[in-house]
Structure 1
Amino acid sequence: MVRISLDLMGGDHGPEVIIPGAAKALERHPDIRFALYGLEERCRPLLDAHPKLKAASTLHASELAVAMDEKPSQALRRGRGKSSMWQAIDAMNKNEADVVVSAGNTGALMAMSVFCLKTMPGIQRPAIAAIWPTLKGESIVLDVGATIGADARQLMDFALMGGAMARALFELDRPTLGLLNVGVEEIKGQEEVKEAGRLIREADLDGISYFGFVEGDDIGKGTVDVVVTEGFSGNIALKAAEGTARQIAEYLRAAMSRTLLAKIGYIFAKSAFDRLREKMDPRKVNGGVFLGLNGVVIKSHGGADAEGFAAAIDVGYDMVRNGLKAKIESDLAKYHATRQPEGAPGGVSDEV
């Protein structure tokens, strides 16, 4: 049984989307048991409409919901102990859940997660890892928004955590890993990136095959299984890719409806376009994973529909089933056993 804690009040649509999404996920994974946290008067009628989900869930009443535009520090002060987001995270802290899934305010979710769960030993800052569709299948990109301006030590930690996630998700013995850079030559890029490359090479990690530097177009090509970068460039790359996918979809829609001949051609090529639409559907890869915490936290896109939120639950389910937390702890312990710890775990700023 996988115990999943859900923040019902997060995202643009709240329980009206999250509860149907949980029902879809339960159909795919009957061994899930949900702990649901939200405003009872709003959530109870929606849950009653899904009898199977209701039977597999416990609804816990919350006093308030974290707004999507709240600053992380404000959300932490106001929502500690009272909000659906905090209560969902605290369920894991109390060993009442194996994974937390929320579509809420990213900065608030990270701040509460760090405050409640704490970071793993040796981790200065957590990272958000995204599953990225590629020409070869899927890859993992991190960080996509948690740590802005990471130093070499933090990029090294991201490499360790990303490699462990790739082994858990893709079932690879030694996933390939690259550092995102402005060129593949060793002399190019910021000093932090070049230093991180040196650290990874010298560590000669058992669970990672270091490829070297990769460029932006290598992400979509699937050149490596794991792409490591700091949160500023990672978040821009993620948003640019999402926007490009929507742009291409709109171009195709407009082109196929422009003339009668184009409409006829679409009919004959419909199956091919359906496959393309499936490949480009962002709902299928929804769910960012917070890495480096003493627990598994999944961040769904705030605007996700029910199918998209179900996909985020799927990610959390897979991370628990494949032992993500244990793999990260093992890799970190092996690496940090060979060196003296530096610094202390950092906090989360309002810019997350």
Structure 2
Amino acid sequence: MPQKVRIALDAMGGDVGAAVIIPGAAISLTRHPETEFVLVGDSALIGRQLDAHPALKAASRVVHTDVAIRMDEKPSQALRRGRKTSSMWLAIDAVKRGEADVAISAGNTGALMAMSRLHLRMLPGIERPALGAIWPTLRGESIVLDVGASIGGDAQHLAALALMGSAMARVLFDLERPTVGLLNIGEEEIKGVEEVKAAASLLRALNLPQLDFIGFVEGDGIGKGAADVIVTEGFTGNIALKVAEGTARQIAEYIRSAMSRTWRSKIGYIFARGAFRALRDKMDPGKGNGGVFLGLNGIVIKSHGGADAEGFASAVDVGYEMVRYDLLTKINQTLHREGGALVLAPAAQEVSS
């Protein structure tokens, strides 16, 4: 019998809150019936939603709070106002206390990262968290990180992202040795900033059995699926994410405009709009819901704030997979050699000498 996976949900997070979170959890429960939930938020609002989902109600425990982090709050303000009392903090706290295996929120990304880092701390050898996103490609899906958790980074930080991203790919894509590439302005060894070139040298020196480092990947290689894991720092990664999301919407608008010019094209659009919507969603990495904060001493999943119930269910599914297939153990195995020595430390010295 599969082990129970305990999931803590910030039921007040996102653009809608419990009206999306609870139905989304109910959808995921049908796919993973061994899941148990800790639902954190206003018990009256949660209770009204649970009445429509008796199976979820039977599998859940409600933790009441009426403090919710606003989507526009600065992380520093959220920490001052919501530390120890907000639905976001209490969901993370359930992981800290061992009452849940993963926390999931559709709330304020900056606040979620700040609270998670403060309360759960970082894994040994990791200085800053990263946000790993599932990206649609011509080959299927890739993982791209960091898409906005941390800005900038030296070679050791980029190498750590590669190691953590490969562990995530092993869990999500069931790959024994995922391919890993560094995002760069060209595939040639002489191109790119020094930090990226040094990270490439470091990864080659490591020659780890858990990942296959293929070198540099250009921007168009993301959509092509040039690697299972594509690594960049958070500033560039977030821009790439927003450009891809905007391009998907732009193409959808071009198609809608073109199909409304004549009565014949309007009729054609009526029959084809489902296919066009599927095309837009397939191209939009924002639709692959469920970003994973990597590097924390615990598992935290970020859902899109505007996700509908099915979208939020996808984020819950990602959380389930991360726990069920032991993401933290795989990250630790990738980061450390036998005997517990950190992989990156000696290799960094070799490359810099």
Q: TM-score, normalised by structure 2?
A: 0.92
Provide the secondary structure at the position in 2 that maps to 1:130. strand
> What does residue 342 of structure 2 align with?
336
Moved over 3 A (4+): 263-275, 280-284, 337-342
CA–CA separation in structure 1 for the residues paired with 2:309 and 2:344:
46
Q: Do structure 1's residue 181 and structure 2's residue 187 form an aligned pair?
A: no
Provide the secondary structure at the position in 1 that maps to 2:153. coil
Change over 3 Å in CA distance of 1:125–1:270 after alignment to 2: closer
Provide the secondary structure at the position in 2 that maps to 1:211. strand
Aligned residue among 262, 275, 293 for 1:259: 262
Aligned residue among 135, 141, 145 for 2:138: 135
Q: Do structure 1's residue 10 and structure 2's residue 46 form an aligned pair?
A: no
Question: Can you list the C-alpha shifts for 1:173-224, whole angstroms capped at 9, x where unaligned?
Answer: 1111111111111111111111111100111011111111111110000011
CA–CA separation in structure 1 for the residues paired with 2:192 and 2:14:
37
Q: Do structure 1's residue 313 and structure 2's residue 319 form an aligned pair?
A: no
> What does residue 125 of structure 1 align with?
128
What is the root-mean-square deviation in Å for CA atoms of aligned residues?
2.0
Count of residue pairs the alignment pairs up: 342
Query: Which piece of structure 1 moves more, 25-34 or 113-122?
Result: 25-34
Check whether the contact 1:66–1:104 (CA below 8 A) recurs between aligned residues. yes
Change over 3 Å in CA distance of 1:165–1:282 after alignment to 2: closer
Shift of 1:311: 1.0
CA–CA separation in structure 2 for the residues paired with 1:333 and 1:128:
21
CA–CA separation in structure 2 for the residues paired with 1:196 and 1:262:
51
Shift of 1:2: 1.1
Question: Can you list the C-alpha shifts for 1:69-125, whole angstroms capped at 9, x where unaligned?
Answer: 222122122212111011100101111111111011111111111111111010011
Query: Which piece of structure 1 moves more, 124-133 or 27-36?
Result: 27-36
Q: Which amino acid aligns with 1:339?
A: A
The percent of aligned pairs where both chains have the same amino acid is 65
Shift of 1:325: 1.1
CA–CA separation in structure 2 for the residues paired with 1:267 and 1:287:
31
Shift of 1:49: 2.4
CA–CA separation in structure 2 for the residues paired with 1:268 and 1:72:
46
Question: Can you list the C-alpha shifts for 1:260-292, whole angstroms capped at 9, x where unaligned?
Answer: 222444467577546535524657511110001
> What does residue 39 of structure 2 align with?
36
Aligned residue among 248, 253, 272 for 2:251: 248
Q: Do structure 1's residue 100 and structure 2's residue 103 form an aligned pair?
A: yes
Structure 1 residues 232-311: aligned runs within 5 Å:
232-266=235-269, 273=276, 276-277=279-280, 279-280=282-283, 284-311=287-314
Unaligned 5+ runs, structure 1? 343-352
Aligned residue among 207, 218, 223 for 2:221: 218
CA–CA separation in structure 2 for the residues paired with 1:275 and 1:61:
38
Change over 3 Å in CA distance of 1:273–1:178 after alignment to 2: same
Question: Can you list the C-alpha shifts for 1:30-77, whole angstroms capped at 9, x where unaligned?
Answer: 111110000223322122222221111111101411111222122122
CA–CA separation in structure 2 for the residues paired with 1:338 and 1:247:
42
Provide the secondary structure at the position in 2 that maps to 1:336. coil
CA–CA separation in structure 2 for the residues paired with 1:149 and 1:86:
27
Q: Which amino acid aligns with 1:87?
A: L
Unaligned 5+ runs, structure 2? 349-353
Q: TM-score, normalised by structure 1?
A: 0.92
Q: Do structure 1's residue 25 and structure 2's residue 31 form an aligned pair?
A: no
